[in-house]
Amino acid sequence: MKAELIIYNIRKLYTSVEKAPVKGYSMSRIQMIPNAFIAVNDGKILEINSGDFKNYINFSTILIDANHKICLPGFIDSHTHLVHAGSREDEFEKLKKGVPYLDILNNGGGILGTVDKTRHATFDQLFSKAYKSLDTMLLFGVTTIEAKSGYGLCLETELKQLKVMYELNRKHPIDIISTYMGAHAIPKEYEHNKKTFIDKIKDDLVYIKSSNLTNLVDVFCETGVFNIDESRDILQKALELDFKIKLHADEIDPLGGAGLGVDLGATSVDHLMAISPKDIKALAQSNTIANILPGTSFYLNKAYANARSMIDQGCAVSISSDYNPGSCPTENFQLICQLAANQLKMSPEEILNAVTVNAAYHLGLSDKIGTLEKGKDADIILLDIPNLAYMFYHFGINHVTDVIKKGEVVVKNKVIQRGRK
Ligand SMILES: [Zn+2]
């Protein structure tokens, strides 16, 4: 079969060849093809090989010379809080001076400050801000993200966020997997009546399900937010309604959120800075992904999750940005990968598996993306570096020059090509 597009002259092509979830020692295995080409047809990968590609060319084939760059699958950022209003740089200054977070919260800041701004923002304001962030993510090589609601804490604004994500998914090259996270915090109006708020979330889940805007539910299981029993209560209702589930788990205190996630069959448990040794063992025995967010540890100047121990004990790890205005305000996904190398002590191979194949797995996208192989979506990035390890060494800058999404060139020489979607 002839190709619509061929990318050739690739110095080295790296991709996972492992079946997801990629666990433990297997995370250090990837494939490298030197002097490679990729032939693409109808948005999907037709062939990957080294050497001659003449058989795939006809008069209409578009040829892209990779100029000895390296090639990777598009990055998948599998945990973001993309859609929100406002920013919190004033809070950053206070945090640095040692003002306690609770004081900030009580003065109208923190997560409830973002909730207030997001409730008052129009659809267009939320859309424009998030679209701009997606552009930056795309330039850094991200081709798919997960994005959570959770800055509404009332059905109306949660739906507004989810509808913004739906529209962004239609109009921006990056694919967005949406998650409902009405259980992100306790809103002021339910401050003294958490039980009623939980019942309200459970009722809202029925409506959210019927809206068809998302098939995923996340809960913030943490001291001062939702405890283990409350998290289980909400998540069991979500499971009854046939949602897939995730948890923000064991970020500050070792409550056992990761273990709860394993018990309930969560697709991922996220953060895990305070995970217990018992729950690491439980995770390793499961297909739940340990989704680690090193950008949050960096920004808040807190301990990093023990990814090394998790991988060494056989867990499947993914790495995400947690992009949000309060604890990780950056869209630079390569920096997140570099923190995984520098602070989590993960190898280049482990990180590649973490941000491609394992991320795709817990978002339910394994059959479409996460690896460069025949039949999968042609989500491809080119980087102007000599080898994979160099990406983690030369940090803080953008190495991605070109991004191909479903076979279309959406970034060329670091410039976004408009007109798609
Ligand atoms: Zn989060």
Instruction: Quote the pLDDT of residue 380.
Output: 98
CA of 210 relative to ligand 1 center, distance in Å? 24
Rounded distance between C-alpha atoms, residue 120 and residue 409, angstroms: 37
Instruction: Quote the pLDDT of residue 420.
Output: 53
CA of 15 relative to ligand 1 center, distance in Å? 27
Q: Provide, rounded to the nearest whole percent, the portion of the chain with pLDDT above 90.
A: 92
CA of 7 relative to ligand 1 center, distance in Å? 36
- Closest by CA position to 322, among listed 301, 291, 346, 350: 291
Pull the structure tokens for residue 102. Answer: 């609770």
Task: Summarize pLDDT for 346-363 with one digit per residue, the tens.
Answer: 999 999 999 999 999 999
Mean pLDDT of the chain: 96
CA of 5 relative to ligand 1 center, distance in Å? 37
Rounded distance between C-alpha atoms, residue 142 and residue 80, angstroms: 12
Instruction: Quote the pLDDT of residue 101.
Output: 77
Task: Summarize pLDDT for 61-108 with one digit per residue, the tens.
Answer: 999 999 999 999 999 999 999 999 999 999 999 988 988 777 887 787
Task: Summarize pLDDT for 129-156 with one digit per residue, the tens.
Answer: 999 999 999 999 999 999 999 999 999 9
């959210």: which residue's tokens?
208
CA of 1 relative to ligand 1 center, distance in Å? 44
| Mean pLDDT along residues 292-314 | 96
Instruction: Quote the pLDDT of residue 207.
Output: 97
CA distances from 145 to 133, 137, 197, 259, 353 (A): 12, 9, 29, 25, 16
Is the confidence at residue 1, as pLDDT, over 90? no
Residue 52 class from Cβ within 10 Å (0-12 exposed, 13-18 middle, 19+ buried)?
exposed
Q: Where are the beta strands (DSSP E) in 121-230?
A: 142-148, 175-183, 216-221
CA of 185 relative to ligand 1 center, distance in Å? 11
CA of 226 relative to ligand 1 center, distance in Å? 14
CA of 79 relative to ligand 1 center, distance in Å? 6
Instruction: Quote the pLDDT of residue 104.
Output: 81
Instruction: Quote the pLDDT of residue 136.
Output: 98
CA of 47 relative to ligand 1 center, distance in Å? 37
Instruction: Quote the pLDDT of residue 412.
Output: 97
CA of 160 relative to ligand 1 center, distance in Å? 19
CA of 122 relative to ligand 1 center, distance in Å? 23
CB atoms within 10 A of CB 90: 11
On whether the CB atoms of residues 326 and 91 are closer than 8 A, the answer is yes
CA of 320 relative to ligand 1 center, distance in Å? 9
CA of 99 relative to ligand 1 center, distance in Å? 22
Instruction: Quote the pLDDT of residue 154.
Output: 97
- Closest by CA position to 146, among listed 309, 335, 384, 360: 360
CA of 232 relative to ligand 1 center, distance in Å? 18
Is the confidence at residue 368, as pLDDT, over 60? yes
CA of 148 relative to ligand 1 center, distance in Å? 8
The rounded radius of gyration (Å) of the Cα atoms in the chain is 21
| Mean pLDDT along residues 152-172 | 98
Task: Summarize pLDDT for 209-244 with one digit per residue, the tens.
Answer: 999 999 999 999 998 899 999 999 999 999 999 999
- Closest by CA position to 333, among listed 131, 80, 150, 162: 80
On whether the CB atoms of residues 222 and 255 are closer than 8 A, the answer is yes
CA of 319 relative to ligand 1 center, distance in Å? 12
CA of 219 relative to ligand 1 center, distance in Å? 10
CA of 184 relative to ligand 1 center, distance in Å? 9
CA of 73 relative to ligand 1 center, distance in Å? 24
CA of 45 relative to ligand 1 center, distance in Å? 33
CA of 387 relative to ligand 1 center, distance in Å? 31
**Terminal alpha carbon distance of the chain:** 26
CA of 270 relative to ligand 1 center, distance in Å? 8
CA of 175 relative to ligand 1 center, distance in Å? 19
Instruction: Quote the pLDDT of residue 55.
Output: 94
Rounded distance between C-alpha atoms, residue 197 and residue 170, angstroms: 32
CA of 311 relative to ligand 1 center, distance in Å? 21
Is the confidence at residue 31, as pLDDT, over 70? yes
Q: Where are the beta strands (DSSP E) in 109-261?
A: 142-148, 175-183, 216-221, 244-249
CA distances from 316 to 7, 9, 353, 354 (A): 31, 33, 9, 8
Rounded distance between C-alpha atoms, residue 333 and residue 264, angstroms: 30
Instruction: Quote the pLDDT of residue 415.
Output: 98
Q: Where are the alpha helices (DSSP H) in 228-362?
A: 228-240, 257-264, 277-284, 294-300, 307-312, 333-342, 348-355, 357-362
Q: Provide, rounded to the nearest whole percent, the portion of the chain with pLDDT above 70.
A: 100
Task: Summarize pLDDT for 238-275 with one digit per residue, the tens.
Answer: 999 999 999 999 998 999 999 999 999 999 999 999 99
